[in-house]
A and B are shown apart, each in its own frame.
Chain A
Amino acid sequence: MSTPETAKPDGAAEGAGVAARAESLTKAYGTGPTAVVALDAVDVTIARGRYTAVMGPSGSGKSTLMHCLAGLDTVTSGRVWLGETEVTGLDDRRLTQLRRDRVGFMFQSFNLLPTLSAAENITLPMDIAGRKPDKAWVDTVIGTLRLGDRLRHRPAQLSGGQQQRVACARALASRPELIFADEPTGNLDSRSGAEVLTFLRAAVDDLRQTVVMVTHDPVAASYADLVLFLGDGRIVDEMANPTAEAVLERMKRFDVIRHG
């Protein structure tokens, strides 16, 4: 029960353009009768300048979707675009460049290089590319995330919330077209989690970034503009301007479908 009709007009309605798009994206692990289909002909469009959350129970394929959109994983069939660039079919070198120059990442844990200071971690993608960071922009990002007094610290000297803020700053620092956040609050207490989510929200509202966040937490999803619900490898529903309660209600129906 994919929803191409609903996803497309919604992205187009914003008129802000398309950040990423997938067409009948299928991802299967293994072959033959033992094959597990993680994504089953998914069509999805990520609107530019918006905060999209991908929700679903574990095993629904939400992380796989993100990995495929971000060029981290190969697809079994279907096509994926990032902006105007078709991601599917790119070789490793081009994929690496694409991730480096046009995508920002935040993971649940282990986001930072332990040997580098916070400041060095933030500018790492640009350092790798051999580009000079946009100083004014980086300062803005650091200011927004209130990291000014932590820049010289090593990750081990930072709290979990601070570490995720640094990861967030790194994702923003190269002003990517799209930021992928994979359970960014999964390892945090609720206060630090709320802080990180607020910053992601601010990144969209104040810094005009595009964020795709994978989560299973209804509260986290409520920070987004749009929630896509994934179940058994398909997009089963979506919800604009979500609230935590509404998302939770919607999620409960998964359990009903599953168990009932």
Chain B
Amino acid sequence: MLRATLRSFLAYKGRLLLSCLAVLLSVAFVSGSLIFSDTVSRTFDALFKSTAADVTVSPKTEFEEGGQFPSGRVPTLPAEVRDKVARVEGVQKSWLNVSAENITVVDSENNSVGPDTGAPTIADNWYVTDRSPVELTSGHAPRGPDEALIDADTAEREDLEIGDPLRVQAAPGSFDVRIVGIATFTTTNPGATLVFLDTATAQRKLLGKEAAATGVQVQAEPGVADAALKKRIAAALGPADYEYETAAEQATSQAEDFGEFIDILTYVMVGFAGVAVLVGVFLIVNTFSMLIAQRTRELGLLRALGADRRQVRRSVLTEALLLGVLGSTLGLGAGIGLALGLIGLMSAFGMNLEAAEVTVRWSTPVAAYVVGVGVTFFAAYLPARRAARISPMAALADVETTGVGRPLRVRAVAGTLIAAAGAAALVGCALSTETSGAFPLLGLGIVCTLVATVIAGPLLVRPVIRVLGGAFPRVYGSVGRLSQRNALRNPRRTGATASALMVGLALVVGMSVAASSITLSFDEQIDRSLGADLVVQNDSFGPFPQEVTDRVRGTDGVGTLVRQRIVQTRLTLPDGEEVMSPAAAADPGLEKVTSVEYVKGSTRAALRPGRTAVSERFAEKQNLKVGARLSARLATGERMRLTVAAVTRTGSGEGLGGAGLVMGLPTLEKAAPGGLDSSLLITAASGTETKELRASLDGALEGYPQVKVRDRADYKELVREQIAVLLYLLFALVGLAIVIAVLGVVNTLALSVVERTRELGLLRAIGMSRRQLRRMVRLESVVIAVFGAVLGLGLGLVWGVAIREVLALEGMTALGIPWWTIGGVVVGSALIGLVAALLPALRASRMNVLAAIAHE
């Protein structure tokens, strides 16, 4: 029996090729993502371990200020801390560390020399330890206020040399330096741009304080344990006054921060793998069903010769196993290639991983084989059971294909039930008033409707394709009629083939509806609430140097200028509960540049000293009324007492940064002076055209490439771009699904062509030309693809509308239907059909007429 299985596996190897490709793709993404993330985390773990000082002392902070709304206020400690540390027994050496991350460095042409990948530009004071990640490779160390080093990778990318001038824009102000040396990474370059200054310059120019630092790094004497030394230093300085970390602790916390970035990448890759697996299952089920249909007589003969059902089933499953092992092995190889490709891509983005060794942990091949073999086995199980039910009589009967006439009643019942459950979940999600309750219902609804459509797909084949292919006979004559009938001929097969395409397209359409609803909602909110003519911001909504504000203020034609700052706060509510919330602070006059709707109170009331506005949702959730007293703590420890004076209406003003709290800038300044603005809302003075003002602002801010002047349309575009980035990622994901779905269509057509050999031979004999035969296969392919697209569109629209209902709870009330995407999906699927039919059509038309009509 095993020999018969092997023989048939080899005999049908051509037909299993595409299934093997589907397994390969799934496994490649699974193993590629594992290898990539293992390699990157190992490299960076090593980097963090090798560069962390034995003990690090840093300023005490209340909480880590989230990267999303940095206030631009850098926590510092007094320089004398180092003197105290140096006196602690067991300390061999110690250094002051002065570091600023929110800086911009521009060259003589006012272009930023920082990375354009979102990685930071960091300025540090220059000191050398045996743990330094860089070493001086040319020039000399910086001495004095106008000398700086730059890292070699940046120098190469930006074509900078010793002697070139640079302008560093730090929080306290900009200053000019000259490159006096190049520092080269001795370890992996994580992609940042580094600038080094001497310590005094760094203190004065980066922090704006003479005797301050952002940390102290300590090297222990040989034989002194890090943990012991940390304890001693903490005791000497006061355990509660600063934060202390050993090298191991620091490496761990750095790795954790970095891990979030790697996690995102891994999730994306796992998403790809999941999509590949999901769509691959359809392909494999279909292939095995068709192979078994074609081999009905052969399997019947086996049964007639005495093989029992179990043996037949096992024979099919053994084939699946062979396919799974083969696909997994090839997929593992492809996964290593994929990981190498990603690592190469990272170095193109400035993250230099070339020195890194590719890490393949034992769990990677295990995961690869579990996924590959598991998926194939799972997908082949139903067809194998069907094969086992073939009666010995099938060997004698002249049946064309099995599965054509079997009733779809079970599918109808199951499909209807699951669809009803899905619909109920989606309705429940639409009616839900809490985001937390709506999300699980949304997920359940999406899964149920997807499963229901897959199950009931074959039932929809006849009605939908009758309509879609309705014009074929009239336009293409008998060729059109034949292709329409062929698509209708085996609804299960057509349904399963189209399902693979449907999944991908439903995702595209659903996400597009969600994205365009979000965009449209933001557009509407911006139109409604942004009264300013121009907005000055940087691309990441982060803070910018004070100089920018000063320059804008000094520009002719500026009427109203409202500064806005954003800080992260920890709020203590009246009932004692603590929550984290971002807060926005704005100049009085905010009401002139915005029009926010309030449930209670007004902008004016909220901006009075010691007052604040809260959002309607926040107020409802925390049961806050006007007059409620809050205590807000900043990361640097300062405390503000605030009284709720206004409640903003949901869906209003949320396009302006989305902060939960809005207060007057003086209120914030009083508690925490020296923050940085993160946006400037500007109206033109009467008599000045917005266009003129914009031109003069552009001129005034020429030296500040990090900020941009935007009018309302630009502002909308900015929001749109941010959503588009997410969408592109999704489209890439779906692109993969579609590639596999195309493989599925190719597979189905190719097997159908083989199955219909005699029919095609007859058609050729009675005078159908090769061109007509090709067209017949193409039209069938197009109608199957468009059928999949129609199902996908329907499902995607339902999902999109349901997602919008959840978004509406977040204030995004507009419903945007992306007509262009929908049109593109339909046209694109027809093209997909044409492409998928290329090879099968060629094969059909090349078929030898005589072989096809010859007697058996």
Residues on A facing B (Cβ under 8 Å): 67, 72-73, 92-93, 96-97, 99-101, 103, 105, 107-116, 120, 124-125, 127-130, 170, 183
Contacts and interface: CB of A to CB of B under 8 A. Distances in A.
Nearest to A115: B485
Given A92-B770, A113-B482, 14 more contacts: A72-B765, A97-B769, A100-B768, A101-B767, A107-B765, A109-B855, A113-B762, A114-B759, A115-B488, A125-B766, A125-B767, A128-B478, A128-B768, A170-B766
B849 interface: yes
A129 B766 CA distance: 10
Contacts of B763: 113, 128
Given A72-B850, A115-B486, A115-B489, A127 B765 contact: no
Contacts of A124: 478, 766
Contact of A96 (B486, B488, B764, B850): B764
A99 B765 contact: yes
B766 A99 contact: yes
A116 B855 CA distance: 22
Given A96-B770, A107-B853, A130-B477, A116 B485 contact: yes
Given A114-B400, A116-B482, A120-B481, A73 B850 contact: yes
B769 to A, nearest CB: 5
Which 7 residue pairs are nearest across A and B when measured between Cβ atoms?
A: A100-B767, A127-B478, A115-B485, A99-B767, A96-B769, A110-B758, A125-B766
A107 B761 CA distance: 11
A130 B479 CA distance: 10
A72 B848 CA distance: 10
Contacts of B772: 128
A71 B853 CA distance: 14
Contacts of A73: 850
A105 B765 contact: yes
Nearest to B849: A72
A57 B768 CA distance: 32
A108 B768 CA distance: 20
B81 to A, nearest CB: 87
Interface in B437-466: none
B766 A100 contact: yes
Contacts of B400: 114
Contacts of B481: 116, 120, 127
Interface string B737-769: 000000000000000000000110011111111
Contacts of A99: 765-767
Contacts of A110: 758-759, 762, 853
Contacts of B855: 108-109, 183
A120 B343 CA distance: 60
B401 to A, nearest CB: 10
A131 to B, nearest CB: 10
Interface-centre pick from A101, A115, A127 (highest chain B CB count, 10 A):
A115
Contacts of A108: 855
B485 A97 contact: no
A97 B772 CA distance: 12
B774 to A, nearest CB: 13
B767 A96 contact: yes
Contacts of A115: 482, 485-486, 488-489
A92 B769 CA distance: 8
Given A113-B762, A114-B759, A115-B489, A128 B479 contact: yes
B489 A128 contact: no
Nearest to A108: B855
A124 B759 CA distance: 13
A170 B478 CA distance: 14
Interface-centre pick from A97, A105, A114 (highest chain B CB count, 10 A):
A114
Contacts of A93: 769-770
A73 B489 CA distance: 31
Interface string B683-715: 000000000000000000000000000000000
A52 B635 CA distance: 104
A130 B477 CA distance: 7
Contacts of A96: 764, 767-770
A102 to B, nearest CB: 9
A225 to B, nearest CB: 25
A127 B477 contact: yes
A108 B853 CA distance: 10
Contacts of B762: 107, 110-113
A120 B764 CA distance: 16
Nearest to A124: B478
A72 B763 CA distance: 12
Contacts of A97: 767, 769
A68 B850 CA distance: 11
A67 B853 CA distance: 11
Interface in B765-812: 765-770, 772
A242 to B, nearest CB: 24
B478 to A, nearest CB: 3
A155 B543 CA distance: 77
A226 B789 CA distance: 60
A13 B65 CA distance: 109
Nearest to B764: A96
A127 B853 CA distance: 21
Contacts of B488: 115
Given A108-B855, A114-B759, A115-B489, A120 B766 contact: no
Contacts of A129: 767
12 contacts: A67-B850, A73-B850, A93-B769, A93-B770, A99-B766, A107-B765, A108-B855, A110-B762, A113-B763, A114-B400, A115-B482, A127-B478
Nearest to A92: B770
Nearest to B853: A107
A113 B767 CA distance: 14
Contacts of B767: 96-97, 99-101, 103, 125, 128-129
B534 to A, nearest CB: 66
Nearest to A107: B853
A125 B706 CA distance: 72
A72 B766 CA distance: 10
Interface string B394-434: 00000010000000000000000000000000000000000
Nearest to A97: B767
A74 B849 CA distance: 11
A23 to B, nearest CB: 22
A139 to B, nearest CB: 20
A109 B758 CA distance: 10
Nearest to B489: A115
Contacts of B853: 72, 107, 110
Interface string B826-856: 0000000000000000000000011001010
B175 to A, nearest CB: 81
Interface-centre pick from A96, A100, A107 (highest chain B CB count, 10 A):
A96
A105 B770 CA distance: 18
Nearest to B768: A128
Interface-centre pick from B488, B759, B767 (highest chain A CB count, 10 A):
B767
A107 B478 CA distance: 21
A110 to B, nearest CB: 5
A73 to B, nearest CB: 6
B790 to A, nearest CB: 22
Nearest to A93: B769
Nearest to B767: A100
Contacts of A105: 765-766
